[in-house]
Amino acid sequence: MQRLRRLVRQRSARQAENVFVVEGAKVLAEALRAGAGIEAVFLGPGGSEELADRGLDVGARVFWLEPGVLERVADTVTPQPEIAIVRDVAVDLSSLRGATLLVVCVDVRDPGNAGTILRTAEAAGADGVVCCEGSVDFFNPKAVRASAGSLFHVPVVAGGDPVAVLEEIGNWGQRRLGAVARSGTDYATLDLTNPTAFVLGNEANGLPAQVEPLLDERVSIPMAGHAESLNVGMAAAVLCFEAARQRRVAAIVATETP
């Protein structure tokens, strides 16, 4: 249990062992469905017997725990009765070459936003999400919960210096669009049907100055009223679904053109 507790709490422990922790029946089911490597499943009273069986089927060790044990391990007050150690699913940046839609997170700090971004990226059909150094660990338990299992379905790159990442994807021909709260080009006026990478910055401070020279364009979501800015998760949804919308339109036009 000491090991599990460490893996829940410490990014360094997760990185040293190349594993992360998922909590709850829903996310564990997604992990199994996606064929992720499940190393061990821990179940408290009321845990899903079906998930325990499916864990055994894929070679995981399965442990039933006494009441109160999970509470000492998990990072929520009332943990769900399933928790599992899953082998790292992060991919190398180079595997995303050829992508047509990417999300690059520079210094996104809130695990809830990280999860929302993963969920959005998957739903909008993005080819991958890059979370650069300085961002929250997208494999921390809170982000994993917030992703609702999306991180098993959309390729995630963990780490990488933002400047180096933006240089590399620029060399691939990705158009790097930095989201800024104001004074950028209206995102919806741009052609988003070509290879596009949305670059998202810090919740409070936006994009750091060092990445500015590596942006092909600064984009903003025009806002009414007194609204200061959308949170970064909502902005990601608006941007990615506009790209998806434009691509549906382009696909229809392509089909209809003789």
Binding site for its own copies (CB under 8 A): 30, 33-34, 116, 119-120, 122-125, 148-150, 153-154, 186, 188, 221-231, 233-234, 237-238, 241-242, 244-245, 248-249
Q: Which is nearer to its own copies, 161 or 191 (CB)?
A: 191
Smallest gap, in angstroms, from Cβ of residue 151 to its own copies?
11
Smallest gap, in angstroms, from Cβ of residue 237 to its own copies?
5
Cα dihedral 221, 222, 223, 227 sign: positive
**Phi, psi at residue 8, to the nearest 5°?**
-65, -40
Burial of 191 (0-12, 13-18, 19+ CB in 10 A): exposed
Smallest gap, in angstroms, from Cβ of residue 172 to its own copies?
21
Smallest gap, in angstroms, from Cβ of residue 189 to its own copies?
9
CA distance 57 to 20: 20
Computed on alpha carbons and rounded to an integer, the radius of gyration of the chain in Å comes to: 20
Q: Which is nearer to its own copies, 172 or 241 (CB)?
A: 241
CA distance 169 to 156: 15
Q: Which is nearer to its own copies, 91 or 148 (CB)?
A: 148
Q: Which is nearer to its own copies, 15 or 100 (CB)?
A: 100
Q: Which is nearer to its own copies, 14 or 247 (CB)?
A: 247
Torsion over CA of 28, 32, 33 and 37, rounded to 10 degrees? 120
Smallest gap, in angstroms, from Cβ of residue 202 to its own copies?
16
